[in-house]
Amino acid sequence: MEINGILIDDTFAEAFNMRGTRVIITAQNLKWVYHAANAMTGFATSVIGCGVEAGIERELSSDETPDGRPGVSVLMFAMGSKVLMQQLETRMGQCILTCPTAAAFAGIEAGVDVDQISLGRHLRYFGDGYQTSKLIDNKRYWRIPVMDGEFLTQETTGMVRAIGGGNFLILAISQPAALHAAETAIEAMKKVPNVIMPFPGGVVRSGSKVGSKYPKMFASTNDAFCPTLKGLVNSELSEEIESVMEIVIDGLTFADITIAMRVGVQAICELGNESGVKRISAGNYGGKLGPHHFKLHEIMGKVS
């Protein structure tokens, strides 16, 4: 398959089951919303080393938030329920409770296949007995006294089954070309709901493979796509490819990730072959890593 002079490999991105949640963060203005959200989603690029993958999903107007203030929605993903709950509680306490004027609300409401997990249920004890609660429309909120006034948080938010590890690879003739294509894709993908691209700026240069020559390492550099290793390994790169960058997507559903991948790849293809991008591929481990396979030809078939 070829789109606008860019070759689309006949391969698939391999993704795995995760647990996900959404939190709505508000504050007096967007400056402090982003201070809180950026702190909460810091050090959250990969479960390989961070425990949780998190990112800002989108900006919310005052008409979209529970307290009528500006806000953002944050998505968090982990390999299991216990890890996600622990990470959410820790990040709430260290990043949202501490941030001036910030408040936190459920981003996923109760429903079928939705588990309720603590958002402020345990954090209320920081109030040292002076905390108060109120039940509104069967939703419990906690008001915790802090030095700038009160910290308002909903008691719980929803946790659902989700998917992590959707991805595609950008193969280009130079590092600037690969980065420009990645930036173009990310800008388009940010408009897709229910997904995040958790790596710095949404892009990862250190794509990995399972296993290593070193026994203690369970992941190592994806040597087949490293341009400096051409001639030393069984490379997937032709002579003209000098840089590869990867975009990883976590989403609430298979369909959400599919849409995000299609939007991102299409945005790159619209740049054309003259942009320096020659191929789009994807990372997989022969189907051994996860049960969710995002096949590039099926995803891009409608726009080819």
Per-residue pLDDT of the chain (304 residues; tens, 9 = 90+): 999 999 999 999 999 999 999 999 999 999 999 999 999 999 999 998 999 999 999 999 999 999 999 999 999 999 999 999 999 999 999 999 999 999 999 999 888 889 999 999 999 999 999 999 999 999 999 999 999 999 999 999 999 999 999 999 999 999 999 999 999 999 999 999 999 999 999 999 999 988 899 998 888 999 999 999 999 999 999 999 999 999 999 999 999 999 999 999 999 999 999 999 999 999 988 887 889 999 999 999 965 4
* Separation of alpha carbons 254 and 57, rounded Å: 17
Q: List the one residue out of 165, 161, 220, 198 whose CA is nearest residue 44.
A: 198
Residue 304 to residue 296: CA distance in whole angstroms: 11
pLDDT at residue 23, as a whole number: 98
The DSSP line for the chain is -EETTEEE-S-EEEEEEEEEEEEEEE-SSHHHHHHHHHHHTTT-S-TTTSS-EEEEEEEE-TTSSTTSS-EEEEEEEESSHHHHHHHHHHHIIIIITTSTT-EEEESS-S-TT-EEEESSTTGGGGGTT--EEEEETTEEEEEEEETTEEEEEESEEEEEEEEEEEEEEEEESSHHHHHHHHHHHHHHHTTSTTEE--SGGG-BS--EEE--SSTT-SEEE-GGG-GGGBTTB-----TT--EEEEEEEEESSHHHHHHHHHHHHHHHHTT-GGGTEEEEE----TT-S-SEEEEHHHHHGGG-
pTM: 0.94
Q: Looking at the domain covering 19-160, what would its CATH class be?
A: alpha beta
* pLDDT the model gives residue 303: 54
Query: Residue 255: what pLDDT?
Result: 97
Ordered by start, the domain boundaries in the chain are 2-14+163-303, 19-160
Q: Which two tokens stand for residue 16?
A: 């795995």
The hierarchical CATH code for the domain 2-14+163-303 is 3.30.70.520
**Res 211: pLDDT:** 87
Asked if 2-14+163-303 and 19-160 have one fold, the answer is: yes
